[in-house]
A and B are shown apart, each in its own frame.
Chain A
Amino acid sequence: MKGKIPVAVQFRAAALATYSFAVLALLLLPVGVVVLASFTRTSYLTIPPKGLTFRWYVEVLGSPSYVRSIVLSLGLALTATAVAILVAVPAAYALARFRVAAANLLVALFLAPLAFPGIVVGVALLQLYSMMNIQPSIGRLLVAHLIITTPFVIRAVLATLRESSVDLEDAARVLGASRWVAFRRVTLPLIRPAIVVGALFAFIASFDNFPVSVFILGARQITLPVKIFSSIEYGVDPSIAAVSTMVIVATGLILVAAERWTGLHRAF
Chain B
Amino acid sequence: MKRILYVLFSSIMVLTLAVACAQTAPVATEEPAAAPAQIEAAGEAAQSEEAPSIAGKTLYIQGSAITYPGQEDAWNEVNAAFEEEYGVTVVTNFSGLWSDIPTQLQTAQMAGETVDITTCGANQINSTLVRAGMIMDMTDLIAPIQDRWVQSTFTSYTIDGKIWALPWDSASTSAVFYNKTMFDELGIEQPTTYADIVAAAEVITASKPDVMPWVHQGKLQYMWPMWFMETFAQTSGNNSIQYTTDFLSGTRSFNSAEEIAAFEALKPFFDDGVLTQASLDTDQTGMDTAFGQQKAAMMYAGTWEITNIRAAVGDAFEVGVFEFPIVASDTSVLSQHGGGADSCLTVPSFAPQEDLGMIMQYFEYITRVDNANKILSLASPLLPVVSSVTPLDEPLAGDLNAIFLPHTIGFLDWIWPAEVNDAVMAAIPAVMTGQITSEEAAMSVQEAYDTLVAEQEYKFDWYSDWTDEDWAKVAPQSIPTFEVVE
Q: Do A and B bind each other?
A: no
